[in-house]
Amino acid sequence: MKSNNKKPQKKQQALSPGCLKQYLTTFAEVLAQKGYTSFTIYGYLHAVTHFGAWLGTQAKLIEDIDLNCIAKFAKHRCNCRGTHQKVVFSKKYLNRILKFVTYLHKQGVIVLAIASHKPKLPLLILFSKYLHQRGLSPLTIERYQYAVAIIIPTLGANPEKLTPALIQQVVCDLASARSLEFGKSITVALRSYLRFLSFEGLCPPDLDKTVPTVAQCA
């Protein structure tokens, strides 16, 4: 008789969504009503559950959630229980969490507020990588990020809704309220940011060509 000396394998502990658990079912229902497939909904719920598990490791409550919180999650070295050793925080993965956080905001569960001092939004992180891949210096990348972080709250959170008229109005309003040098810096950074959004398929093409010069705003 052969003896079975194999040690029983440990069952991997499942991720716990923590403080987000009570909102997963209704969020899934909203996605289903919008026509998302069950497979896609599963992907959303897994990303949100991972985010909830990470919040627990940081001792954060649901009212602590903001856009900077998502950015910190995107940069964390994942050793969350129930995840694979290598987790890729892709644009799609982070956007799933952002959609859920936006859902909580619309439900009045949390209030999203963009920090005034160089916020690191998920799109800004991707924008930074885009600039780095194009060989820009760290100092230039930092300047572009800072300028775009100031512009984003006025442009709105949905790049798909950007129009030439809105872009021109935002640039002229910001340029008139600040120095000439600042006005020039935001136009250069915004053109680069709009090219990035177009490259990612997040906004209509050629919007970078509609950014006015500071002289046009005078």
Average pLDDT over all residues of the chain: 80
Number of neighbours of residue 109 by Cβ within 10 angstroms:
15
Cβ-proximal residues to 48 (8 Å cutoff; 6+ apart), any chain? 17, 20, 24, 27, 96, 97, 100
Give me the long-range contacts of 59-64 (CB less than 8 A, separation at least 24): 61/19, 62/19, 62/20, 62/104, 62/109, 62/110, 63/110
Q: Structure pTM?
A: 0.48
Kindly calculate the radius of gyration of the chain based on its CA atoms and give it in whole angstroms.
Answer: 21
Report CA torsion sign: 168, 140, 143, 91. Answer: positive
pLDDT tens for 60-116 read 888 888 877 888 888 777 766 655 555 567 778 888 888 898 888 888 888 765 433
pLDDT tens for 21-74 read 999 999 999 999 989 999 999 999 989 999 998 888 888 888 888 877 888 888
pLDDT tens for 149-193 read 888 888 877 888 889 999 998 888 877 767 777 778 889 999 999
Q: What is the pLDDT of residue 77?
A: 74
Cβ-proximal residues to 187 (8 Å cutoff; 6+ apart), any chain? 171, 175, 211, 212, 213, 214
| Domains, the chain | 18-106 (1.10.150), 122-217 (1.10.150.130)
Confidence of residue 13 (pLDDT cuts 50, 70, 90): low
